Chains A and B, each alone.
Chain A
Amino acid sequence: MIAFDKVSKTYDSGVRPALDNVSLDIHAGEFIALVGQSGSGKSTLLGMINRLIDPSDGIVRFEGDDVRQLDPVTLRRRIGYVFQDVGLFPHMTLKENIGITPRLLGWDKTRIETRADELLTLIQLPQEDYRDRYPFELSGGQRQRVGVARAIAAEPHVVLMDEPFGALDLRTRDALSRDYRNLHDTLKLTTVMITHDMIEAVLLADRIAVMQDGQIAGLGTPRDLMINPPNDTVRGLMDMPREQAGRLNALMRDGTVS
């Protein structure tokens, strides 16, 4: 579905490359989480898929095509994108926000409206009440639901998510990420998600790519990486959920955190 072939990216200002000879295959229907410290290259990798960023070297393929041969605007309309800061347009109603990519694709009006209503129902915001509201009237969680709805409105096969739930409180984050995983399965999406939350990565993703200094330090299912970490970086990261769970259990059992 998406393939990185020896991809590098050097920024003018950067001393070392942001991405250093990375190869990665993402399969159709897969849910992949990109984890790693800030500056490890996650965002660069994600942005290359819909040509927000172009590689300095190497080839990125989307459904078999070299993305450099594709018009970036057309490409972006085929790929859903959920932003960390949600990025709903404040001057547009929810209906207009959700319908923006279909509108850019030239769908007719009734089809856009039907689609918007359908998605509002899907994200559990009753269409009659919410259709004509503006983003400022919503809570953070509701806004990001709309952000997800906007990303999938034009029926893309691929959704890119840049720390989509990072700014939400834990309960909302948990509920939303589970709902999204269901959506991913139901709609047979391919999802690439950046996250800082290891528990989220472990519980949601089919595979995790651990990024370190512009390279992929580890790639595998959460279970593989946890049982069999290829190096200390991956081990350090993958141990965190388990360690936290262990401390939690200790607290429950002994009344103190050891």
Chain B
Amino acid sequence: MTIDPAIADAWSRLPDYLGQHVLVSLTALAIGLAISFPLALLSVRRPYLRDVALGFASIVQTIPGLALLALFYPLLLGAASLTARFLGFDFSALGFLPSVLALALYSMLPVLRNTITGIEGVDPSLRRAAQGVGMTSRQSLFMVELPLAMPVIMAGIRTAAVWVIGTATLSTPIGQTSLGNYIFSGLQTQNWIFVLFGCFAAALLALVVDQMLALMERGAASRRRSSIAAGLIGLLVVVGLALAPALGARKAGYIVGAKTFSEQYILAALMTQRIEAGGQSARRREGLGSNIIFSALASDDIDAYVEYTGTIWATMMKRDDIKSREETLTEVSQWLEREHGVRLAGTLGFENAYALAMKRSEAERLGIRTIADLAQHAPNMSIAGDYEFFGRAEWAAIRDGYGLRFREERSMQAEFMYPAVGNEVDVISAYTSDGRIAQFDLVVLDDPKHVIPPYDAVLLLSPKRAKDLALIDALKPLIGAIDVKLMREANLRSNQGQSPDQVARWLWEQLRNKRHNSLIILPGQSASDSPFG
């Protein structure tokens, strides 16, 4: 009997993802409890504080989980630059810290609310009795009201734990490894086994923790210390098992970043495999938002990832002029070095540009070959883009350059864009290296006015790793080696359900067979300047 490779792949990642998930959830819950529990105790006899605390926690609860998590990244980035300037140290604004803080905030409401209502719900005659036997207000709180409110408080902690464990899956896009990695990467690479695996694992974890806490809750309610102990021990065992691999040997090693789409997962897998083949250890931080990933690299939170020159040109350098591929590459490379100390190690050999695409049959029927042709039909058409597209400078350039006015603009997940074109929408934003252009029989519209900048895939190294020879040696074979045809095929394989690791291994086979040796020397640099020279 053979195990499905996707399942085997999912299993192999479980110790890392689960461990990280438990670590981040547990820390968040502990911090959340450490704040909200004393706050609740303080609030019990202070109606004003109580209203403020509950109001604040309720507002936090209305913020969508993903937004709350994303909010902490720029917040911490600002804080880190302040501490760097005034206190002489900075910290990583990515991954663990923002996740923990956001989740801790998220956990506060149920604990606050249940602690306060639990204590307020204690029979007033017992409060009077406590006073009558000579307890101070404080003694009454700790010796009578708190123990009696414990079952309600435990119920609040249970709710908080389940929320935090569930919401922790959303910490993946801000760079914290979690069980959400399965879900996000599965969604991007159409690996539904991953998606299901991630959902199932997160649900199971939440369920187990909930049951252990329920056991403690029943123990607290019936004053059976054995139940409390059993629940606590069970909880510790679960946490211990989950954390054991995470706390074990995982110290040094390179961190390869990946954005939120298949090509990035494949290339990150390929880089990781190459680094490991070179005898080094490496791990991945996948599913990072497009803006977050560069900040992460610039601040050494990740060591390497693949970026596209046009993205840096338009989004970071805020350039709206269009230059040739070579000129763009040179200027981008110099800008990265100058502004961020980031090293552009070389091009991979293909371009993944933004483009507009539509059904071939429809384009032929309407006689549309270029974006200029599209302009006159646009008012009767709808366009779909990924979540970033309509906010990007490239779209503004295309829209204004050709005077495009569509009937409707829709944002959707890239996976759903391709099946939608031709029925739900007429035009989509596409990527030139996407295998689905051929698969769905689409045609990419020409850009005669050259408003779209070139998008060469380039390998970026963090300032810390700019001269790291072990890393550079490991990644050298990828430089200039991947043409757009090869990348399209790789992307298509991923879309057809192969895991990024499988596709990366296939891609490496192709590269080896080609024995592609053309090293690309960066324009404007002498051979000795190039890290691969």
Contacts and interface: CB of A to CB of B under 8 A. Distances in A.
Give the contact-size bracket for chain A. 20 to 34
B132 A76 contact: yes
Contact of B128 (A74, A87, A150): A87
A104 B142 CA distance: 13
A91 interface: yes
Interface stretch (A77-85, A119-127, A169-177, A250-258): A77-85
Given A83-B125, A87-B125, A134-B223, A76 B134 contact: yes
A146 interface: no
B131 A104 contact: no
B134 A73 contact: yes
A81 B133 CA distance: 7
B135 A89 contact: no
Contacts of A77: 133-134
Contacts of A203: none
B401 interface: no
A14 interface: no
B237 to A, nearest CB: 28
Nearest to A93: B223
Contact of B148 (A88, A91, A105): A91
Interface string A204-216: 0000000000000
B289 interface: no
Interface residues of B, number: 17
Interface in B130-179: 130-136, 139, 143-144, 147-148
Nearest to A104: B134
Contacts of A87: 125-126, 128-129, 132
A5 to B, nearest CB: 24
Given A104-B139, A134-B223, A89 B126 contact: yes
Given A90-B148, A91-B223, A83 B128 contact: yes
A12 to B, nearest CB: 17
Given A83-B128, A85-B125, A104 B147 contact: no
Contacts of A76: 131-134
Interface centre among A73, A83, A87 (most CB of B within 10 A): A87
Contact of B131 (A52, A74, A88, A100): A52
Contacts of B125: 83, 85, 87
A240 B354 CA distance: 99
Nearest to B220: A91
B129 A50 contact: no
A76 B135 CA distance: 8
A225 B132 CA distance: 32
Contacts of A85: 125
Contacts of B139: 104
A101 interface: yes
A137 B133 CA distance: 22
B170 to A, nearest CB: 39
Contacts of B134: 73-74, 76-77, 101, 104-105
B228 to A, nearest CB: 13
Contact of A150 (B133, B143, B144): B133
Contacts of B148: 89-91
B132 A81 contact: yes
Nearest to B147: A91
Contacts of B223: 91, 134
A73 B136 contact: yes
A160 B228 CA distance: 39
Contacts of A90: 126, 148
Contacts of B132: 50, 52, 76, 81, 83, 87
A73 B133 contact: no
A81 B144 CA distance: 17
A145 B365 CA distance: 97
B144 A89 contact: yes
A204 B223 CA distance: 39
A150 B126 CA distance: 14
A74 B133 CA distance: 10
Contacts of A89: 126, 129-130, 143-144, 148
A230 B468 CA distance: 106
Interface in A57-90: 73-74, 76-77, 81, 83, 85, 87-90
Contacts of A101: 133-134
A118 B79 CA distance: 64
Interface of B: 125-126, 128-136, 139, 143-144, 147-148, 223
23 contacts: A52-B131, A52-B132, A73-B134, A73-B135, A73-B136, A76-B132, A77-B133, A83-B129, A83-B132, A87-B126, A88-B129, A89-B130, A89-B143, A89-B144, A89-B148, A90-B126, A91-B144, A91-B147, A100-B133, A101-B134, A104-B133, A104-B135, A104-B139
Given A52-B131, A89-B144, A89-B148, 19 more contacts: A50-B132, A52-B128, A52-B132, A73-B134, A73-B136, A76-B134, A77-B133, A77-B134, A81-B133, A87-B129, A88-B129, A89-B143, A91-B148, A91-B223, A101-B133, A104-B134, A104-B135, A105-B134, A150-B133
Considering the complex of A and B, which 3 residue pairs feature the smallest CB-CB distances, nearest first? A87-B129, A77-B134, A76-B134
